[in-house]
Amino acid sequence: MFKIEKHPILEVPKTEIIEFLFEGKKIEGEKGFTIAAALHQAGHPVHSHSLDNRNRSLECGIGKCGACEMLVDGIISRICITKVDNIKEVREIPVDYSPAALPVNKDISYNVFNTEVAIIGAGPAGLAAREVLNQHEVPNIVIDNNDKIGGQFLMQTHQFFFFEKEKKFGGMRGFDIAGTLAGDDHTGIFLNSTVWDILEGNRIAVKNILTNEIYFVDAKYLIVATGAVPFMPAFENDDVPGVYTAAVVQKMMNNEFTLLGQRVLTVGAGNIGYLTSYQLMQAGAKVVAILEAMPREGGFPVQANRVRRLGIPVLTSTILLKAIPNKDNTGITGAVVADCVDFQAVPGTERIIDNIDAINICTGLVQDDQLLAKGKEIFGRNVFGAGDAIRIGEGTSAVLRGKQAAFEILDEMGAKFSYDDFLSVSKEYIDSQQHPVRVREDVYRPDETRSVTKPFVLIDCLYGFACNPCEFACPHDAIHKTSTSTVPHIDFDKCIGCMECVYQCPGLAIFGYNLKKDWLFLPIEYEISEGTKVFLVDNTGKNWEMGLLKNTEKEKQDRYSPGKIP
């Protein structure tokens, strides 16, 4: 558990130091960051105990589960979302603790807000719905328990896949998208507010978690875009500190600048497994391996390639059986794994992966649909689900489903809207969920004469899926992708080798070449010094030859652009 002092993508802020007591010990935290981050950086990962007195730590990390609840100045609070600002003391909740009954003030009046559409969730789905409703001048209120808009986009440092007719989000990093989803006017967005019930008469009960104010929202229509919660598979010692879900790892690493381990084992070879492993390497950790119980990988091939090129082995048909705790059960030192068939361990194949201090669980998500179920009871056909609350998918899918839900409400209202726009969004939503399908066996290449005449790029994107930022990146109209089921095509007569597309590819799958100078242009998203000798590898991580990193060019968006390797 370490403080991240420097990051190749994110700016690490310097803030005021806040002191508080944890079980009588003085702890230092940073203003604006959570209690969970301060405790982990101080070496205190244990926040509670089970009924059997087993040590427990963070579980979801995003304020949904309550596993991290502690007494903060005498009030039960979730430390993964509670800031250290102005706090005095943090204690574990005693086993026999019973909170005191609060007196009921029957004379108090409550605020009631009336609107046409209430949206629960200020993530990509909820805010995309808001955008469409605002365009059609439909009053709406957005409610979210976080202190910022953007949902899970806030935790994502990678560039996103989007297939767009006009450039908007494609190629942008998650935290950048989060800042643009609501536009400049945030009127009607209620943050730090949690929905605690949906009452008869289409009344939504809300509590501000900072001020404890209770208020209500009355609406005719409801959109539930509450996202998802991590799925934790069962294995021995799955509850010990050191075993964390991907949500915990990403939130602590990319929002709280807290690295939960230096040598990490990832479980799950889907997109989240690939991306969190890549992001762990960016933050300074070593990912020793990625385990996958299925005989094949589940994520996008371009995402798999990015981790293999870093030398991270992907072990398919391999299952995690046990986390090996340290002596005082405050962390882990290893894991027992085995070969498996149909998720069943093969006897006699058990082996130990040792010298690790964290396990990153990336085995999927479960819809957070409890409010959607209650909404259906109260709102009937006037409730609509969006994003991961109804179907687990990529950020692209969440945005498109949010827009689709807004159009469906417009239809129910009898409001005027472009049906062609609705059909277009619906088609894009379906296309965004397709699994990549291999279209080509090899990349498009220039002929021998063209390859030595001037620089060029190769796009190692052989699978059709919903992504086309490279089209918009090219200032010479040399790259075209006609649909979500095709791959980018390069017109080498138009390509001049400007390399603009190299650093704007979300899959890091575009590479530039200048054969005259014997230079190779690569997207670099981690710290590396100029003049460093490097291995040149293929997509399986196999070493081909040595190269010398001549220079790196950092461009305006604080992203690393290609290095030149002679």
Whether the domain at 2-95+232-361 and the domain at 111-228+367-432 fall into the same CATH topology: yes
Q: Cα separations (Å) of 389 from 228, 298, 353, 455, 475?
A: 6, 21, 36, 46, 39
Both structure tokens of 318:
């391999």
Summarize pLDDT for 229-282 with one digit per residue, the tens: 999 999 999 999 999 999 999 999 999 999 999 999 999 999 999 999 999 999
Quickly count: other Cβ atoms within 10 Å of residue 289's Cβ. 18
Both structure tokens of 281:
């390497």
> CA torsion, points 69, 71, 76, 81, in degrees to nearest 10?
-50
Burial degree of 466 (CB within 10 A; 0-12, 13-18, 19+): buried
The answer to whether residues 458 and 562 touch, using CB atoms and an 8 Å cutoff, is no
> CA torsion, points 278, 281, 283, 286, in degrees to nearest 10?
140
pLDDT of amino acid 563? 45
Domain locations in the chain? Answer: 2-95+232-361, 111-228+367-432, 448-564
The answer to whether residues 267 and 291 touch, using CB atoms and an 8 Å cutoff, is yes
Alpha-carbon gap, residue 387 to 129, rounded angstroms: 10
Both structure tokens of 355:
């010298």
Residue 387 three-state SS: helix
| Residues with pLDDT less than 50, the chain | 556-566
End-to-end CA distance of the chain: 38
Alpha-carbon gap, residue 458 to 150, rounded angstroms: 34
Alpha-carbon gap, residue 232 to 221, rounded angstroms: 34
pLDDT of amino acid 461? 93
Q: At the top level of CATH, which class does the domain 2-95+232-361 belong to? A: alpha beta
Alpha-carbon gap, residue 410 to 224, rounded angstroms: 16
Amino acid (one-letter) located at 414? G
Residue 20 three-state SS: strand
Alpha-carbon gap, residue 545 to 529, rounded angstroms: 19
Summarize pLDDT for 5-28 with one digit per residue, the tens: 999 999 999 999 999 999 999 999
Classify each residue of 234-266 as buried b or exposed e, where b means 16 or more C-beta atoms within 10 Å of its C-beta.
ebebebbbbbbbbbbbbbbbbbbbbbbbebbbb
The answer to whether residues 518 and 512 touch, using CB atoms and an 8 Å cutoff, is no
HSE toward the beta carbon, residue 451, CA cutoff 13 A? 11
Residue pointed to by tokens 């926040």:
47
In CATH, 111-228+367-432 is 3.50.50.60: yes
pLDDT of amino acid 133? 97
- Write the DSSP assignment of 235-296 as a string of letters: -BTTTSTTEEEHHHHHIIIIIS-EES-SEEEEE--SHHHHHHHHHHHHHT-EEEEEEESSSS
Quickly count: other Cβ atoms within 10 Å of residue 194's Cβ. 16
Alpha-carbon gap, residue 142 to 119, rounded angstroms: 5
pLDDT of amino acid 357? 96
pLDDT of amino acid 554? 57
Residue 80 three-state SS: coil
pLDDT of amino acid 415? 95
Alpha-carbon gap, residue 173 to 558, rounded angstroms: 11
Instruction: Write down the pTM of the prediction.
Output: 0.92
Alpha-carbon gap, residue 287 to 360, rounded angstroms: 10
Residue 336 three-state SS: strand
The answer to whether residues 62 and 81 touch, using CB atoms and an 8 Å cutoff, is yes
Alpha-carbon gap, residue 102 to 207, rounded angstroms: 15
Alpha-carbon gap, residue 343 to 155, rounded angstroms: 30
pLDDT of amino acid 494? 96
The answer to whether residues 246 and 361 touch, using CB atoms and an 8 Å cutoff, is yes
What length is written for the chain?
566
Q: Which helix (H) or strand (E) holds 353?
A: strand 351-354
